[in-house]
Amino acid sequence: MRPARLMLTLSLPLLLPVAGHAQTPKVGIVLSGGAARGLAHIGVLKVLERAGIPVDVITGTSMGSVVGGLYAVGYSAAQLDTVVRAQDWFRLLSDPVDRRDLPIDRKVAADRLLLTLPIYQGGVHLPRGVVPGQRIWELLTRLTWSAHGVRDFRRLPIPFAAVATDLETGQAVVLDHGFLPDAIRASMALPSVFAPVELGPAVLIDGGVVRNLPAHDARALGADVLICSDVTDPLEPRDSIVSLVDVLVQAVSFRVWDSERAERGACDVLIVPDVRAFTSFGFGRAAELMARGEAAALAALPEIETKVGRRRVGPRPPAPVAPDSVLVTTVRFDLSGGGTVTPAFLAHALGLKPPAWTSLADLGARIERLYATGLFGNVRYRLEHGELTLLLSARPAGRFGLGLRYDSRYKASVLLSGTLANDGVVLDARLGQQIRLGLGAARPLGEGQSLALGAALAYAHQPVDLFRDGRRVAEVRVDVGAVSASLDRRWGSGAGAALRVKAEHARWAEEVAAVDSAPINRSFVTVAGVGDIDTYDSGVFPSRGVGLRAVSEWGGSFSHHVGEVRGYVPLGRRVSLWAGATLGASGGTPPPHYLFLLGGANGYYLFPDRAIAFAGLHVQERRGRHVQQAELGAQWQVAAAPDLFARVRWNAGTVLDRWTFEPAGWVSGVGVELGARTVAGRVSLSVSGTGRATPIVELDLGYPF
């Protein structure tokens, strides 16, 4: 054999891998950020799957990291389509805490505050994000359950990397290792919308700020051919910039486009779905967005096939289905940010004693209840090989709350509330015609902290109308100062009870009356038992649930007892019925402000155990030592506007100075109401009457307090 032929023969095996590599390049998919418009990437992946285009590497930023990360775990494009359509995007993006999960004492606060802000470093601050992102975190954690044990994202079924931005330095951070849900959540932390994510020493925000199309990052993972799907907003022409918001968005876009041109230049095939007509939060148009992605990918398919060559893959198998149940052998708590929460409390609140079998859905519900305690900025979990690790971030030490309301009788009112969580101290100030100032402190007891010792100082001022024959004839000023101590017990999220000792001084003086009378001053000590049940699904226009409140108070010369129950039952999706009753009685010689007041379509909240709502009577029109009242109502939720409600109710009742039970002598009234549930609270316009007088029109705006 000639030497040249011999050399060629010997070197042929060495050349074959090189030739094979040239024919089978690694294909990388690059998915840009773009909020809801990023759902178009799913349509692109559908086309690539149908064409058998291999995917060897995938990178993404923001929404691209969500789609890319789930695809890398093993989800097919069809499965991603199903996941997207199944989500309640409003709940995911607004991050509400389900009222049923709130402890009963937090339900009261949640029902009266329009806004809460953190207190730290000696002042009140705006939050770092409008949405904490708890529900997004929960969803990502559940969807990536099969990858909880993977720390190196290059070991996923498809190697993956996400891009975030370091909030301190402004540099891009490539996230190719760690805990996958955290990496995706950091990459999509849109500034001022979602709270930043702390990963190790870094605080991270949305990667789209510096690199919205991570093409070079896919190349760094080993991709030879890059197929890029880009939904980045283009820079606007001058005549389209007409508002200060437009100017701000354009200014932010300059930074994005600093890297965009270079990243696009690194792409071998660039797919640009036509999604300019869609808003960043248009998740309700997911099907249209995915269809736009499919159309753009089909148009680019000939070029893709040329770049990729002859290599094709078969249909992608679906990602493994989450098991019906998993065995939790140990539970570990990892708490960051300080705080005084004990492991014993966390174990009690979680309510899972290992070893125990649980489903991912049940585990998610337990996490939601733990988050609903209000003690944590976020609650995440990692489950691998039976070990459940809860990752908790403590909330800032205090909260400042603001409430606003307006009603026809007492006009505008403001509530200012401050809470120092570490000390259990609460300061409330209700300002307006009705005034209440309160300072309280509570100290939890026991491992589960379901018991608490409390103490409080309070001052209240309220004008009270006096009526005669349906006409207002006088106005009385009530001033009350009290100091109290209590022992509270909570059962789950729906029930609570308290034993309270109170020392009180009250002054009752007529300010507007035909005949002046001397004021009444009275000091006394009472002991009271209080029981509460609250399972309403909403504090404003509930459609299901039960509410019960019972108070029995005893003083040296009088006693005061009241019980109120109300229940809502849904009939279908839009209609619900409710029924309620109130019974109250006083013994001995009660102070004047302990008498029951009946009237007004909506309740008044300074003395809620004594002011009873009644459609058809003016506010506080009837006054007496005993009260009897029953009501029936129906509520219709308008289909075209789900936060708009129409209500009708009938009620009957009376107040008495001597207890008798004769329903035939009760006054009855009916009322109709048009209301809305808004971010500012309840909006209600009601018309009511008894048929014997001019109808009463009442307006009620804001949260009850």
User: Strands, DSSP E only, in 219-308?
Assistant: 225-229, 269-271
Whether 2 maps to a domain, the answer reads no
Selection from 642, 641, 636, 663 nearest residue 652 by Cα: 663
Average pLDDT over residues 202-224: 95
Query: Are 473 and 479 spatial neighbours (Cβ–Cβ below 8 Å)?
Result: no
The tally of CA atoms less than 13 A away on the side-chain side of residue 521 is: 1
CATH at residue 533 = 2.40.160.50
Q: How far apart are CA 430 and CA 462, in angstroms?
A: 11
Q: Which residues pair with 570 in a beta bridge?
A: 576
The verdict on 452 and 345 lying in the same domain is: no
At residue 468, the 3 state secondary structure works out as: strand
> What is residue 605's predicted lDDT score, i.e. its pLDDT?
72
Average pLDDT over residues 1-30: 54
Q: What pLDDT digit, counting tens, does each position of 459-478 carry?
A: 999 998 888 888 888 889 99
> What is residue 259's predicted lDDT score, i.e. its pLDDT?
86
The verdict on 357 and 286 lying in the same domain is: no
CA distances from 134 to 205, 232, 308, 421 (A): 15, 26, 40, 20
Q: What pLDDT digit, counting tens, does each position of 137-147 carry?
A: 999 999 999 99
The verdict on 471 and 574 lying in the same domain is: yes
Q: What pLDDT digit, counting tens, does each position of 369-385 carry?
A: 999 988 888 899 999 98
Among 158-162, 337-341, 572-576, which is the least confidently predicted range? 337-341
Exposure of 3 by Cβ count < 10 A (0-12 exposed, 13-18 middle, 19+ buried)?
exposed
pLDDT band, very low/low/confident/very high, at 11 (cuts 50, 70, 90): very low
The verdict on 151 and 282 lying in the same domain is: yes
Phi, psi of 341 (to 5 degrees): -70, 135
> What is residue 516's predicted lDDT score, i.e. its pLDDT?
57
> 308, 343, 366: which is the final residue of a domain?
308
406: tokens are 């307006």
Q: How far apart are CA 603 and CA 593, in angstroms?
A: 16
Does residue 91 surpass a pLDDT of 90?
Answer: no
Selection from 333, 329, 320, 332 nearest residue 385 by Cα: 329
The verdict on 168 and 283 lying in the same domain is: yes
> What is residue 513's predicted lDDT score, i.e. its pLDDT?
62
Residue linked to tokens 């690199």:
211
Whether 696 maps to a domain, the answer reads no
Host domain of residue 52: 27-95+133-308
The verdict on 289 and 404 lying in the same domain is: no
252: tokens are 């932010």
Whether 15 maps to a domain, the answer reads no
Q: What does DSSP say about strands 57-61 and 160-166: parallel, antiparallel, or unpaired?
A: parallel
Q: Which residues contact 584 (CB under 8 A, 6 or more apart)?
A: 560, 561, 562, 563, 596, 609, 610, 612, 626, 627, 628
At residue 401, the 3 state secondary structure works out as: strand
Q: How far apart are CA 551 and CA 609, in angstroms?
A: 8
Among 242-246, 560-564, 605-609, 685-689, which is the least confidently predicted range? 242-246
At residue 14, the 3 state secondary structure works out as: helix
Phi, psi of 2 (to 5 degrees): -65, 150
Whether 648 maps to a domain, the answer reads no
The verdict on 411 and 349 lying in the same domain is: no
> What is residue 4's predicted lDDT score, i.e. its pLDDT?
42
Total number of domains constituting the chain: 3
At residue 345, the 3 state secondary structure works out as: helix
Whether 424 maps to a domain, the answer reads yes
Does residue 544 surpass a pLDDT of 50?
Answer: yes
> 394, 412, 442: which is the final residue of a domain?
394
> What is residue 269's predicted lDDT score, i.e. its pLDDT?
97
User: Strands, DSSP E only, in 355-447?
Assistant: 356-358, 376-384, 387-394, 398-407, 411-420, 425-431, 435-445
Q: How far apart are CA 336 and CA 356, in angstroms?
A: 26
634: tokens are 């129906």
> What is residue 50's predicted lDDT score, i.e. its pLDDT?
96
pLDDT band, very low/low/confident/very high, at 554 (cuts 50, 70, 90): very high
> What is residue 320's predicted lDDT score, i.e. its pLDDT?
81
The verdict on 34 and 49 lying in the same domain is: yes
Among 439-453, 531-545, 617-631, which is the least confidently predicted range? 439-453
At residue 304, the 3 state secondary structure works out as: helix
Average pLDDT over residues 66-93: 94
Does residue 9 surpass a pLDDT of 70?
Answer: no
Query: Are 204 and 166 spatial neighbours (Cβ–Cβ below 8 Å)?
Result: yes
Q: How far apart are CA 642 and CA 52, in angstroms?
A: 44
The verdict on 208 and 193 lying in the same domain is: yes
Whether 233 maps to a domain, the answer reads yes
Element (H, E) at 143: helix 134-143
- Cβ density class 513-533: b for 16+ within 10 Å, e for less: eeeeeeeeebebebebebebb
Q: What share of the chain is helix, strand, coil (3-state, %, to 5)?
A: 25, 40, 30
Does residue 14 surpass a pLDDT of 50?
Answer: no
Average pLDDT over residues 45-70: 97
The verdict on 232 and 247 lying in the same domain is: yes
Q: How far apart are CA 136 and CA 65, in angstroms?
A: 13
Query: Are 461 and 437 spatial neighbours (Cβ–Cβ below 8 Å)?
Result: no
Does residue 506 surpass a pLDDT of 50?
Answer: yes
Q: Which residues pair with 584 in a beta bridge?
A: 562, 627
Q: What is the 8-class DSSP label of residue 614?
A: B
CA distances from 102 to 48, 417, 530, 579 (A): 45, 19, 19, 24
Average pLDDT over residues 585-597: 94
Does residue 256 surpass a pLDDT of 80?
Answer: no
**Average pLDDT over all residues of the chain:** 90
Q: How far apart are CA 550 and CA 30, in angstroms?
A: 61
Whether 540 maps to a domain, the answer reads yes
pLDDT band, very low/low/confident/very high, at 23 (cuts 50, 70, 90): low
Does residue 231 surpass a pLDDT of 80?
Answer: yes
User: Between these two residues, 304 and 512, which has the higher pLDDT value?
Assistant: 304
Query: At 452, which amino acid appears?
Result: A
Q: How far apart are CA 679 and CA 700, in angstroms?
A: 15
Query: Are 382 and 179 spatial neighbours (Cβ–Cβ below 8 Å)?
Result: yes
148: tokens are 């909880």
> What is residue 514's predicted lDDT score, i.e. its pLDDT?
56
Greatest extent of the chain over all pairs of C-alpha atoms, in Å: 134
Q: How far apart are CA 192 and CA 508, in angstroms?
A: 50
CA distances from 142 to 5, 190, 195 (A): 61, 22, 20
Average pLDDT over residues 605-610: 83
Average pLDDT over residues 571-575: 92
Q: What pLDDT digit, counting tens, does each position of 477-488 carry?
A: 999 999 999 999
> What is residue 423's predicted lDDT score, i.e. its pLDDT?
61
pLDDT band, very low/low/confident/very high, at 78 (cuts 50, 70, 90): very high
Angle between the 77-86 and 63-73 helix axes, to the nearest 10 degrees?
A: 130
pLDDT band, very low/low/confident/very high, at 19 (cuts 50, 70, 90): very low
364: tokens are 């998610």
User: Between these two residues, 292 and 23, which has the higher pLDDT value?
Assistant: 292
The verdict on 244 and 198 lying in the same domain is: yes
Query: At 579, which amino acid appears?
Result: A
Q: What pLDDT digit, counting tens, does each position of 342-368 carry?
A: 888 888 889 899 999 999 889 999 999
> 368, 394, 420: which is the final residue of a domain?
394
Residue linked to tokens 């109502």:
633
Q: Give percent of the chain with pLDDT exceeding 70.
A: 95
Rg (alpha carbons) of the chain, rounded to whole number? 32
The verdict on 509 and 623 lying in the same domain is: yes
CATH at residue 383 = 3.10.20.310
Whether 77 maps to a domain, the answer reads yes
Whether this prediction's pTM lies above 0.75 is answered by yes
Q: Give percent of the chain with pLDDT exceeding 90.
A: 66
Q: In 10 A of CB 360, how many CB atoms?
A: 18
CATH at residue 273 = 3.40.1090.10
pLDDT band, very low/low/confident/very high, at 16 (cuts 50, 70, 90): very low
The separation between CA 354 and the C-alpha centre of its own chain, rounded to angstroms, equals 29
Q: Which residues contact 173 (CB under 8 A, 6 or more apart)?
A: 163, 164, 165, 166, 202, 204, 207
Q: H helices of 381-538, where? A: none
Among 115-124, 486-495, 596-605, 691-700, which is the least confidently predicted range? 115-124
